[in-house]
Structure 1
Amino acid sequence: MNHAPTAASSRAKTGGDAARQPAPLSMFEFWPGWAIYTPVVLYWILLGLWHRDFSLPTAANPRILTGGLCGESKTSILDMAGETARRWIAPYVSVTTGSADDGAAALAALDRGGLALPVVVKPDIGCNGAGVKLVTTPDELVAAVALYPPDTPLVMQRLIPFEHEAGVFYIRHPDEDRGRISSLTYKEAPVIVGDGRSTVRQLIDADARTRLVPHLYLPRLGDRVHEVLPAGMPLRLVFAGNHSKGSIFRNGADDITPALVEQIDRIMQDIPDFHFGRIDLKFESIAALRLGRGFEIIEINGVGSEATHIWDSRTTLREAYAAQFTHYRETFRIGAKKKKAGWRTSGAFTMLHYWRQQRRLLASYPLND
């Protein structure tokens, strides 16, 4: 199987990583959610008791619903971008399902926004790549929007032409002039290559990683699992750059440069009172990214986002929890400073309400591409 070429994958073979060749999966990579996140929730509760406010992180990005913990609108964050930040965000428009002809309404929205196909369609409220669809023709767009329930706000965003994707975690305390990047993660799409003899299912079963998690790929492939790919023909198994949906994550910390930090900080300081979260972007090349160039932002996530380098198969469980605890400790500290400055927190019951609402919405979305 081939992966998208990134510096992260090449660095796995050089320097200090030579002794830590990536295993197909880490020990905990696909543990059940309750198993991996229970210690994180307990740590959150301890921090809430210490600060006497369980919802304190929601004040870290106070202009965003729940600080971006859950239930927030993607476009509500992007819409806050000033002139500087907006230049780095891939153009997008919105449409809500439930009209007499959702397909026609979606096409009209694209036309009003000056966007042409292909575009990426996704729910405006969501996470983990749920419901993300790639559409390239008008017929595909009509079919895609019909899959969402009525009254679902959707985002239609221009398909960024760059091949590579990354998650950049940004932190800036309110009393600091400059922010920092605490994590950089490369997202690689698993790709199988035909040999002219094997079926798609056989190729998946032959790969050291995909054979361990075939359930992530088989549902979206449908009848293609029986197809025999011609020799040399590649097949990308997933489009959404999300770990839980099958993408492969690599730690790109070595590529965090002063130039990249400066550029990301310039962009994020153009979003009012944004202090903590992850920027998902696509980029032209590692060399350009290191210079703070050649990238476009897909979306910006708030306090509910993770430093996704923890899903690199070389990351140990201890390192993963250390990263999680460090980041949540930071968001409590930032929230405390914003609360002292007069901003209000959401409250524990409001947090729970939007978390339950988001869970219901995620369950109603179609399978992602």
Structure 2
Amino acid sequence: MTDLTMSSCGMPPLSLDPARPLSHFEFWPGEAFYAPIALYALWLGFRYGFRSSTCANPTIEAGGLVGESKSAVLSLATGDACDWIAPWTSIVRGTGDSATEADRAEAALRAANLPYPVVAKPDLGCRGMGVRPIASRDELLAYLDSFPHGQRLVLQTLIDWEPEASVLWARGPNDLQGRILSLTLKYFPRVTGDGMRTLRQLIEADPRAGKVAHLYLARHAARLDEVIAAGEQVRLVFSGSHSKGAIFRNGKHFATEALARRLDAIANDVPGLHVARFDVRCASIAQLAMGEGFRIVEINGVGGEAIHVWDSRTRLLTAWRDLCAQTRTSYVIGAANRARGAKPLSWSRLYFLWRRHLRLKTAFPTTA
């Protein structure tokens, strides 16, 4: 039976092993970690057809493998699915000064009935790139000032719930019901002041944060030399991204039938969706497990990996196995859609999307 014991914030209590706060591969270079998965994908290409995974979600560019637009994916939602998605709007950052662009952004917010606070994020970002909470016009001005001209940004209502999770779901084109491949709980690390040490000292002394201090120090540069009052908690990261410093835990025991059927119903109102990772905020993980009390903040396609592999307790071979299984699912479903007439993305377009992704990685504002 699923254990739904929750802490006061609606999440299972987070336990960290001081002797092993990180797995040995958590922050490996991508080239090293993903090499076996890339080789397996190459073999799948021979078996199921190269670029077949780009057909897994025919209505999303490249199936969501790389370079897809967040707003374009969310715009696919119709009917009841819209009720489960956190309200949002988007604008293209024009060439005007920040004040002019802020006027345009606030007009878009008013038109969508979105008051502050909101979350700003690049339409083409991934892994938490450029994600920031925006609570005022001044913060919006600062964000727009560092946002590249000609690029679209998404402004989405800030869901004021602490629990956050990612649920990877898949359903073949001939299947009536889908299944949950992965469920990951996201924790946002904090340090607690003692009235004597600075924020920098607290971060560096933390068993986990101290080992990846570079993820937090620049983000809190303005407060690093401040002595944190006794009992005061400082949240080190806002974005629920592992690469930006969030802590992930495998939540597979919360992947219930009720949640799977809820995602089926939502996907029914998102045409062409067969492989998706739903990033959600929820009132509690217990409610999420019942298929209730959550809002979707993002829908990722086949590029949305099974991020439970970044749980520090996961073994390397298990991580590779699970990611290979996910990749195979994308190819199998993509091949089935291809047989039904879906057209794979051209090599030239894939190359363009990948190059654009690499170019924009360093162009967006810093992540909160």
* TM-score strictly above 0.5: yes
Q: Is the 8 A contact 1:278 1:302 kept in 2?
A: yes
Partner of 2:3: none
Bigger Cα displacement from structure 2, 343-352 vs 78-87: 343-352
User: Does residue 140 of the first structure (1) align with residue 142 of the second (2)?
Assistant: no
Displacement of 1:5: 5.2
User: Does residue 84 of the first structure (1) align with residue 89 of the second (2)?
Assistant: no
Secondary structure in 1 matching 2:191: strand
**1:198-242 deviation per Cα after TM superposition (whole angstroms, max 9, x unaligned):** 111111111110110001011111131111110111111111100
Which of 43, 46, 53 does residue 46 from structure 1 map onto?
Answer: 43
How many residue pairs get aligned? The number is 359
The AA in structure 1 aligned to 2:122 is: P
CA distance in 2, matches of 1:149, 1:155: 13
Partner of 2:58: 62
Partner of 1:97: 93
Partner of 1:154: 153
The AA in structure 2 aligned to 1:247 is: A
CA distance in 2, matches of 1:285, 1:269: 25
Q: Is the 8 A contact 1:85 1:271 kept in 2?
A: yes
User: Does residue 333 of the first structure (1) align with residue 329 of the second (2)?
Assistant: no
Partner of 1:356: 355
CA distance in 1, matches of 2:158, 2:10: 20
**1:141-165 deviation per Cα after TM superposition (whole angstroms, max 9, x unaligned):** 1111111011110000000011111
CA distance in 2, matches of 1:91, 1:243: 24
Q: Is the 8 A contact 1:8 1:252 kept in 2?
A: no
Partner of 1:319: 318
User: Does residue 30 of the first structure (1) align with residue 32 of the second (2)?
Assistant: no
Secondary structure in 1 matching 2:278: strand
Secondary structure in 1 matching 2:165: strand
Displacement of 1:176: 0.5
CA distance in 2, matches of 1:352, 1:329: 22
The AA in structure 2 aligned to 1:87 is: D
Could you tell me which runs of 5 or more consecutive residues in structure 2 were left unpaired when the two chains were aligned: 1-6
Partner of 2:253: 254
Q: Is the 8 A contact 1:281 1:299 kept in 2?
A: yes
The AA in structure 1 aligned to 2:277 is: R
The AA in structure 1 aligned to 2:91 is: V
Secondary structure in 1 matching 2:84: coil
Ranges of 4+ aligned residues in structure 1 off by more than 6 Å: none
Partner of 1:181: 180
Partner of 2:67: 71
Residue identity over aligned pairs, in percent, reads 44
Partner of 1:16: none
CA distance in 2, matches of 1:295, 1:157: 15
Secondary structure in 2 matching 1:87: helix
Partner of 1:367: 366
Displacement of 1:120: 0.3
The AA in structure 1 aligned to 2:22 is: L
CA distance in 2, matches of 1:70, 1:87: 27
Q: Is the 8 A contact 1:174 1:275 kept in 2?
A: yes
CA distance in 1, matches of 2:246, 2:11: 16
Secondary structure in 1 matching 2:354: helix
**1:244-269 deviation per Cα after TM superposition (whole angstroms, max 9, x unaligned):** 00000000011111111111111112
Could you tell me which runs of 5 or more consecutive residues in structure 1 were left unpaired when the two chains were aligned: 14-19
For the aligned residues, what is the CA RMSD? 1.6
Secondary structure in 2 matching 1:151: coil
Secondary structure in 1 matching 2:58: coil
Partner of 1:304: 303
